Amino acid sequence: MIRFFFRFLSVVSLAVAVILAVIDATRSIAASELVLTPLGTSWFAVSPETLNLAQAVVQRHVFPALWDPILVTILTLPGFVVFLALALLFYMIGRRPARRFGRVGA
């Protein structure tokens, strides 16, 4: 059940990564130059309230020093790269472990 959950998160993250990559590709074609939209810009365009809420929660309740060096750096990366990395991470967590030994006796 847990593996299924992480595989599902992997598929959803991969779908978001593809959507963000297609958006960047169409913007790049329209501008005739490479356009990579940062994750923070995409998040602010979709839901600025949740971005502000996430910042407030991290700075007040989790760990204040976590926001500026780490999360701001992640928010400046292209959105499809972040979601592609999340998809890979969730896939690696949710994959079946490899068998250490082959079949014995059959």
Residue-number span of the structural domain to which 68 is assigned: 38-77
| Segment 23-68, tens digit of pLDDT | 999 999 999 999 999 999 999 999 999 999 999 999 898 888 888 8
Q: Phi first, then psi: what are they for 101, rounded to 5°?
A: -125, 150
The answer to whether residue 101 is domain-embedded is: no
Give pLDDT tens digits for 81-98.
999 999 999 999 998 887
Residue 100 lies in a domain: no
Q: Which two tokens stand for residue 54?
A: 């996430």
Same domain membership, residue 30 and residue 6: yes
Residues 7 and 32 placed together within one structural domain of the fold: yes
Same domain, 2 and 31: yes
User: Is residue 102 domain-resident?
Assistant: no
Give 86-93 contacts, CB < 8 A, sequence gap 24+. 86/9, 86/13, 86/17, 87/10, 87/11, 87/13, 87/14, 87/17, 88/10, 90/6, 90/7, 90/9, 90/10, 90/13, 91/6, 91/7, 91/10, 93/6
What is the CB-side half-sphere exposure of residue 19 using CA atoms within 13 A?
A: 9
Residues 30 and 45 in one domain: no
Looking at the structure of the chain, the number of domains it has is: 2
In a domain, 104, yes or no: no
User: Mean pLDDT of all residues in the chain?
Assistant: 91
Are 3 and 24 within one domain? yes
**For residue 19, what pLDDT is reported?**
96
Q: What percent of the chain has pLDDT over 90?
A: 75
